[in-house]
Amino acid sequence: MTVAVIIVAAGRGSRAGGGTPKQWRDLAGVPVLARTVSAFRGLGRITVVLHPDDMVRGVALFGGTVTLVAGGATRDASVRAALESLTGSGVEKVLIHDGARPLVPRAVIAGVLAALDTAPAAAPALAVTDALWRGTGGRVSGTENREGLYRAQTPQGFRFAQILAAHRAHPGGAADDVEVARAAGLTVDITPGSEDNLKITFAEDFARAGAILAARKDRGMDVRTGNGYDVHAFCEGDGVILCGVKVPHTKALLGHSDADVGMHALTDAIYGALAEGDIGRHFPPSDPQWKGAASEIFLAHAAKLATDKGYRISNVDVTIVCERPKVGPHAAAMMAELARILGISPNRVSVKATTSERLGFTGREEGIAALATATLIGD
């Protein structure tokens, strides 16, 4: 299902003070909003909602890599503006996130997305663990039962059509999109939140966020690489499918699926990085349902597995080994197709080709080989 991400950042950050609205201030040298957007790269189209006064700043920070929409006077008005801007775009699921939550862990996002596979709506939260008091005039005037109480976080995830209809029907004044959804009768699953996913609200929250970043740096970045290799023999035909692109040729490639050797190598590279075996384990060749299947299914599965496990795909590199057909004229289309399936920017995808100098089976034009590398990054 097509996923869109809405990041609301049109507030003025009055409680944080400091002159410049909090989303534009630096957190360990990087603007808060840039960090928030980075956390969602690769998941789908990103819409960032800005105050009308901040549009020039938004273009300078993001260029054309996100869609910018002018927000409203309240958070829910800002969300509504983004939802309306996405009508007719074919988006099926939407994640709505505060621009002021820059350190959202990938696992929190993955939890919401996984819950959306079966639930109409889902959002992360943390159970309240402290005792709850009422206070009057600086004195405790009562206690509240904390049983079943949660601290709500974002991203909050919905079916696009349902949350759009819910916002259109809502009178306004909701604290979050879960409140809007529930007012429309939707049930909302609670998924695991994280203490790292703090909302920068007050000035001291910058120091808390800085400490979380420093702790992450101490732990070291979780970077994983994987490689993949695949071979398919030529058979009679009039073209081959390489990295999702039909390339005219005097032969075809033989295989149980569409025999897209490049996409298979790349899929195995992602499974390899995740230590999740290979295509054969997830899509056994003995299973007739994969006969003639488009290899996009395999690659999309590997990419979703990466997201579900809390990783984003940083970059991929595919090398195709053959004398013919010539890959160069089709490489740009192949990179665009892989980028689309993986949900990452085309400048993070490389497809290149080499001959084997007429040596070996590729040199004798008996088949095509492909190698791939994938780099995955966790929090």
Ligand X SMILES: C[C@](O)(CO)[C@H](O)COP(=O)(O)O
Ligand Y SMILES: Nc1ccn([C@@H]2O[C@H](COP(=O)(O)OP(=O)(O)OP(=O)(O)O)[C@@H](O)[C@H]2O)c(=O)n1
Task: Tell me: does residue 286 bind ligand Y (CB under 6 A).
Answer: no
Q: Three-state DSSP class for 223?
A: strand
CB nearer to ligand X: give 153 or 295.
Answer: 153
> 81: which 2 tokens?
């503006």
Distance CA 164, CA 129 (A): 34
- Of 43-102, which residues contact ligand Y (CB under 6 A)? 49, 71-75, 78, 98-100
State the CB neighbour count (10 A cutoff) for residue 238.
Answer: 10
Q: Is 160 annotated as a binding residue?
A: no
Span from 10-18, 204-212, 233-241, 301-309 in contact with ligand Y (CB under 6 A): 10-18
CB nearer to ligand Y: give 133 or 202.
Answer: 202
* Residue 38: C-alpha distances to residues 66, 255, 344 (Å): 11, 38, 12
Partner that binds at residue 23, options ligand X, ligand Y, none, CB closer than 5 to 8 Å by kind: ligand Y
Shortest Cβ distance from residue 82 to ligand Y (Å)?
Answer: 9
Q: Is 7 annotated as a binding residue?
A: no
Total interface residues for ligand Y by CB under 6 A: 22
| Unique residue bearing structure tokens 């409680």 | 15
Q: Is 230 annotated as a binding residue?
A: yes
Q: Three-state DSSP class for 35?
A: helix
Distance CA 173, CA 267 (A): 46
Partner that binds at residue 152, options ligand X, ligand Y, none, CB closer than 5 to 8 Å by kind: ligand X
State the CB neighbour count (10 A cutoff) for residue 107.
Answer: 19
Alpha-helical regions (H) of 117-241? 160-169, 177-183, 205-219
Partner that binds at residue 175, options ligand X, ligand Y, none, CB closer than 5 to 8 Å by kind: ligand X
Task: Tell me: does residue 249 bind ligand X (CB under 6 A).
Answer: no
CB nearer to ligand X: give 152 or 186.
Answer: 152
Task: Tell me: does residue 7 bind ligand X (CB under 6 A).
Answer: no
Cβ atoms of residues 163 and 177 within 8 Å: yes
Partner that binds at residue 213, options ligand Y, ligand X, none, CB closer than 5 to 8 Å by kind: none
Span from 135-143, 149-157, 342-350, 367-375 in contact with ligand X (CB under 6 A): 149-157
Q: Is 264 annotated as a binding residue?
A: yes
**Going by C-beta distance under 8 Å and a sequence separation of 6 or more, which residues neighbour residue 115?**
122, 157, 189, 191
- Of 147-166, which residues contact ligand Y (CB under 6 A)? none
Cβ atoms of residues 206 and 35 within 8 Å: no
* Residue 44: C-alpha distances to residues 98, 286, 345 (Å): 17, 33, 10
CB nearer to ligand X: give 96 or 302.
Answer: 96
Shortest Cβ distance from residue 323 to ligand Y (Å)?
Answer: 55
Of residues 33, 119, 152, 316, which one binds ligand X by CB under 6 A? 152
Q: What is the Cα gyration radius of the chain?
A: 24
Q: Is 98 annotated as a binding residue?
A: no
Cβ atoms of residues 166 and 186 within 8 Å: yes
State the CB neighbour count (10 A cutoff) for residue 67.
Answer: 17
Task: Tell me: does residue 103 bind ligand X (CB under 6 A).
Answer: no
CB nearer to ligand X: give 12 or 352.
Answer: 12
Residue whose C-alpha is closest to residue 11's, from 191, 201, 143, 151: 201
CB nearer to ligand X: give 10 or 279.
Answer: 10
Q: Is 88 annotated as a binding residue?
A: no
Strand order in the sheet with 312-321: 251-253, 223-236, 367-377, 312-321, 349-354
Residue at shortest CB range from ligand X? 176
Q: Residues interacting with ligand X, by CB under 6 A?
A: 75, 98, 152-154, 175-176, 199, 201
Q: Residues interacting with ligand Y, by CB under 6 A?
A: 8-16, 23, 49, 71-75, 78, 98-100, 199, 201
Annotated binding-site positions:
230-232, 256-257, 264, 278-280, 354-357, 361, 364
